[in-house]
Structure 1
Amino acid sequence: MAVLPLLAACGGPFSALEPEGPSARGAATLWWIMLAGFAAIFLMVSAVLALALWKPRTLRTFGAERTMVWGGLVIPSVILTVLVAAALALGERLLAVPSDPAPLRIEAIARQWVWEFRYPDGRATSGRLVMPVGEDVDFAVTSEDVIHAFWIPRLGGKIDAIPGHENVVRLRADRAGVYGGVCAEFCGDGHAPMRFSVEAVEQGDFEARLAEFGAEGQQ
């Protein structure tokens, strides 16, 4: 029963294990693959250690050289090769490769300690982001002071916001809803509350929601 509170912490608006977009699903899948790889290596090492402590004769029968080659080289190499291949394949989903037509582009500008989002029509929101559902969105991420990191855990992986440099990450929300975004890089005293909300809306409501932001004084 003691593990239940820990499992409950895996949910919520900031949970990378509850993906709502292709990039986030790739990251979550990679996490589970890495967990399985870690568990396999851990169990293998634990089994060898148990044999060494309680069944040393069995381990000697297998042979010291064979144990080192298989347990220390062959099996870990196979597991790590699978992990690297999975990381390379799934990591491609985060890349903003050229496409036709070009996705919606939103600028994400970080400063201590708030996020500002600028849209193609010139409108801007602070601390609140609105994006259409079911469409790729390229986020052009930069910073006006120190290094920050842009991260919407349920939509994809994080990317650094670097002063004088622009990094682009492509994300998509597959379902309408409100998600949480954070700065994932320590940036000073106000780092902890440097969060923002992400509202994914249907395409037909996107322009209207932006207009509402303006009416609410969010520009």
Structure 2
Amino acid sequence: MLAPALIGCEGALSTLDPAGPAAQSIAGVWWVMMAGSLLILAVMMGLILWPFFKRHQPRKVPEKLWLWGGGLGFPLVVLAALLAWGLPAGQSMLAGRETQVYTVEAEAFQWGWNFRYPDRAGMTAEVLHIPAGEPVDVAITSLDVIHAFWVPRLAGKVDAIPGTTNTLRILAPEPGIYDGMCAEFCGLEHATMRFQIVAHPAGEFEAALAAELAGQDQP
């Protein structure tokens, strides 16, 4: 049961090996936060050790400096910078105002996924087919409890909520297979609720999707 702790950190579900632009933005925020945290830790450790090296030269520091500078000013500067850096990452996952973006539907249920395509009869189970190199909006909902749609190498997670549709924009720059999973605990089989996104070359997408749908049992 230790493997789930590594999800998002290595392998096919790694957020540290981003492929799409949204995932790259998220990874950039993570690396900035990591570097900033280490820098702040180094400064704090330096302040702690400083008196031991200067114990024969005591110096009184005004309390207001610690209170307003360290307790208020420093956190505000750090949080404001992080907010300014992180907002574009979240914005990159939102559906824009373009009307020509290819849109698919993702239906979550205990414990699986169904995917539907515009102007197509039928659906695919556990596998979402998209054209590579093009933005795709995924309209996400749930048929029972709250789930979450997460493809770490392409974008962040978005909740799948019954009676509500949330839209996530993804873009796979290269053809290939990208693993995804439910990232919201939803019951006993939550850990097995996974799916794949197959990105086809743009010129082959329609034929590949038609062949896949033709081989599916229609509901």
- Structure 1 residue 118: Cα displacement: 0.2
Q: Which residue of 2 aligns with 1:153?
A: 152
SS of alignment partner, residue 60 of structure 1: coil
| In 2: Cα distance, 1:36 partner to 1:182 partner | 28
Matching residue's letter, 1:107: E
Segment drifting more, 168-177 vs 74-83:
74-83
Matching residue's letter, 2:112: V
How is 1:201-216 mapped onto 2 (pairs within 5 angstroms)? 201-216=200-215
Q: Which residue of 2 aligns with 1:40?
A: 39
- Structure 1 residue 205: Cα displacement: 1.3
TM-score by length of 2: 0.87
Unmatched runs of 5 consecutive residues or more in structure 2: none
Query: Structure 2 vs 1, CA of residues 182 and 59 (structure 1 numbering), >3 Å: closer, same or farther?
Result: farther
Query: Structure 2 vs 1, CA of residues 218 and 53 (structure 1 numbering), >3 Å: closer, same or farther?
Result: farther
How is 1:53-68 mapped onto 2 (pairs within 5 angstroms)? 55=54, 60-68=59-67
SS of alignment partner, residue 178 of structure 2: strand
Aligned-pair identity in percent equals 44
- Structure 1 residue 64: Cα displacement: 4.5
* Contact 1:115-1:126 within 8 A present in 2 as well: yes
Q: Which residue of 2 aligns with 1:3?
A: none
Matching residue's letter, 1:112: Q
| In 2: Cα distance, 1:59 partner to 1:167 partner | 59
* Contact 1:41-1:76 within 8 A present in 2 as well: no
Matching residue's letter, 1:73: L
- Structure 1 residue 209: Cα displacement: 1.7
SS of alignment partner, residue 94 of structure 1: coil
- Structure 1 residue 210: Cα displacement: 1.4
* Contact 1:125-1:218 within 8 A present in 2 as well: no
* Contact 1:135-1:172 within 8 A present in 2 as well: yes
SS of alignment partner, residue 66 of structure 1: helix
| In 1: Cα distance, 2:38 partner to 2:62 partner | 24
| In 2: Cα distance, 1:191 partner to 1:138 partner | 24
Which portions of structure 1, spanning 4 or more consecutive aligned residues, are displaced by more than 4 angstroms? Answer: 52-59, 61-64
- Structure 1 residue 19: Cα displacement: 1.1
Instruction: Tell me whether 1:130 sits opposite 2:126 in the alignment.
Output: no
| In 1: Cα distance, 2:42 partner to 2:188 partner | 42
Q: Which residue of 2 aligns with 1:106?
A: 104
| In 2: Cα distance, 1:43 partner to 1:61 partner | 22
How is 1:1-219 mapped onto 2 (pairs within 5 angstroms)? 10-52=9-51, 55=54, 60-100=59-99, 102-120=100-118, 121-217=120-216
TM-score by length of 1: 0.87
| In 2: Cα distance, 1:168 partner to 1:78 partner | 32
* Contact 2:22-2:170 within 8 A present in 1 as well: yes
Matching residue's letter, 2:140: V
| In 2: Cα distance, 1:181 partner to 1:111 partner | 15
- Structure 1 residue 30: Cα displacement: 1.1
* Contact 1:96-1:169 within 8 A present in 2 as well: yes
Query: Structure 2 vs 1, CA of residues 107 and 62 (structure 1 numbering), >3 Å: closer, same or farther?
Result: same
| In 2: Cα distance, 1:140 partner to 1:59 partner | 63
| In 1: Cα distance, 2:203 partner to 2:138 partner | 21
Unmatched runs of 5 consecutive residues or more in structure 1: 1-5
Query: Structure 2 vs 1, CA of residues 41 and 144 (structure 1 numbering), >3 Å: closer, same or farther?
Result: same
Q: How many pairs does the alignment contain?
A: 212
* Contact 1:51-1:59 within 8 A present in 2 as well: no
| In 1: Cα distance, 2:217 partner to 2:173 partner | 25
